[in-house]
Structure formats: structure tokens, C-alpha cells
């Protein structure tokens, strides 16, 4: 988190119908619902009702709330097939310039014995990748140990070496590989973005999306879904639904 920024994680509750936090065998509690709010202390001034033309300082906060991410909305390296590719997530509106900075957070949401390696790659609004001075695609590889949560501030300048980027930029965050000491690994990841106004420090939260086509009705635990890379493990299957004609 940036210096001077506070982070408040709040356990909201347990899913309806659940009496306790259920351990699925991997020490992953799937029926916990967690919400978080990131905020920055601030001071502003209001008119003094007792003295005309005078102002009183008032302390407060401003920030944003990030909603809980259910386990079935995690990026999943096993969920790659004819119905779609759910091994990566996209962050839109990735604008970065003198007035705005774009921060990106990445969470290794796997079981406690699994490490992941992911890539961050920016794309232009027309779908073309950003290139460096040598004509190579710009990207960064990140290793995340079990339970890791990292945030990169001003990601385009500090991590990707880019200057100003327009607000139609898309950042792709996806799996490269994973490794685990677990006999029954569960691999997952999620990301978030924040676009911060450099003049006021006002943040806007950017939630991830999966790429098109997202032709699924729901996701359920399955014993027949196997990973094709990094090992084999039971994960999720996604039930396809018909895409309506356009």
C-alpha cells in the first residue's frame, strides 16, 4: 500500500445456510465472505457556524471498498478449453499519465503450499501489445509465494517502463506456471486495479473481468477437471450455455 494509506479488512459473515467455516481439505475456507476497504486519512475545512468567514478543520477519510471475490471467480490455470480461457484476467481503463496513476494488486489465492508465476502485459485499445524501443512486447513476470498479496503503484511507469497510456489500455494478468508441495493443490489468483487522481489522491476501483467469450452459466466443483500444465488437480468445470446470435 502507498505510504500513508490504511487497509481495513472486515469479515462480513458466513454464507447463508452454513453453520461454520467449512474446510474443503486444503485449508481453504470457501464459505467465508470477506470485504475490504482501503482508505487515506484526510483533513478538510468547513465553515464555522459561529464565526463568519472562518473555517474549522475536520479529520476524515476517503477511499474505496473492494468486494469479496468468490472462489469460482478466481483465475484458474486448469480452466482452458473450447468454452473459454479463464487462466487470465483483464483490467480495463488502465490510464497512466501526469494526472493519474494506475496501481495493480495481485493475490495468490491458492492453497497454502502453492506458489504461482504470473505475467502482466499491457495492450492498446486496438488489441495490439505495447512494444519497447527494440520492438519487443512489453511485459513483466512476477513470482508469488503462497498467500502472497502484492501491489504495484504506478505500474506502467515503475514496472513496465511506459510513459503516458490512454484510458483504453487493457492490462492482462495471467498464469505462466505454478508449483506446489501439496498432494491436492488448488490453484487460483485474482487481481484488482485502482486509478488514482494525483491531484486529489481520489481512487477509483477497477475490478477484473474474464476475456470473451464468457459463455458460462455457472461454475461448480468437479472431479473431472484436470490441469494441463504444472501438474494435475481437481478444480472446477464451467457449464457452457448457448451464446445468442448477434
Strand 55-66 and strand 236-240: pairing? unpaired
Is the pLDDT at 43 greater than 60? The verdict is yes
Binning pLDDT at 50, 70 and 90, where does residue 152 land? Answer: very high
C-alpha distance from residue 65 to each of 48, 124, 186 (Å): 31, 28, 27
Helix segments in the chain, DSSP class H:
155-158
Is the pLDDT at 205 greater than 70? The verdict is yes
Residue-level pLDDT at 29:
53
Binning pLDDT at 50, 70 and 90, where does residue 11 land? Answer: very low
C-alpha distance from residue 141 to each of 113, 177, 190, 194 (Å): 20, 11, 16, 20
Separation between Cα atoms, residue 135 and residue 128, nearest integer Å: 12
Residue-level pLDDT at 95:
82
Please tell me the pTM assigned to this model.
0.72
Separation between Cα atoms, residue 206 and residue 190, nearest integer Å: 12
Element (H, E) at 25: none
Is the pLDDT at 242 greater than 80? The verdict is no
Residue-level pLDDT at 184:
85
More confident call, 218 vs 69: 69
Three-state DSSP state, 204: strand
Quick: pLDDT tens for 160-169: 989 888 888 9
Amino acid at each position: 500500500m502507498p505510504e500513508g494509506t490504511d487497509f481495513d479488512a472486515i469479515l462480513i459473515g458466513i454464507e447463508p445456510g452454513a453453520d461454520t467455516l467449512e474446510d474443503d481439505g486444503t485449508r481453504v475456507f470457501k464459505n467465508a465472505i470477506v470485504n475490504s476497504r482501503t482508505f487515506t486519512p484526510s483533513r478538510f475545512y468547513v465553515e464555522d457556524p459561529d464565526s463568519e468567514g472562518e473555517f474549522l478543520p475536520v479529520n476524515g477519510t476517503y477511499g474505496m471498498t473492494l468486494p469479496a471475490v468468490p472462489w469460482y471467480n478466481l483465475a484458474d490455470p486448469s480452466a482452458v478449453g473450447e468454452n473459454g480461457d479463464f487462466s487470465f484476467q483483464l483490467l480495463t481503463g488502465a490510464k497512466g499519465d501526469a494526472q493519474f496513476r494506475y496501481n495493480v494488486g495481485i493475490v495468490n489465492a491458492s492453497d497454502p503450499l502453492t506458489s504461482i508465476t504470473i505475467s502482466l502485459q499491457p495492450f492498446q485499445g486496438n488489441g495490439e501489445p505495447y512494444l519497447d524501443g527494440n520492438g519487443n512486447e512489453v511485459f513483466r513476470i512476477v513470482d508469488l509465494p503462497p498467500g502472497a498479496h502484492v501491489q504495484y503503484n504506478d505500474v506502467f511507469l515503475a514496472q513496465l517502463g511506459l510513459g503516458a497510456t490512454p484510458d483504453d489500455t487493457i492490462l492482462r494478468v495471467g498464469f505462466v506456471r505454478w508449483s506446489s508441495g501439496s498432494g491436492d493443490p488448488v490453484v487460483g489468483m485474482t487481481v484488482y486495479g485502482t486509478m488514482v487522481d494525483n491531484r486529489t489522491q481520489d481512487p477509483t476501483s477497477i475490478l477484473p473481468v474474464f476475456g470473451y467469450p464468457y459463455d458460462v452459466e455457472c461454475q461448480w466443483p468437479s472431479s473431472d477437471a484436470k490441469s494441463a500444465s504444472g501438474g494435475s488437480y481437481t478444480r472446477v468445470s464451467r457449464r457452457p450455455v448457448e451464446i445468442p446470435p448477434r
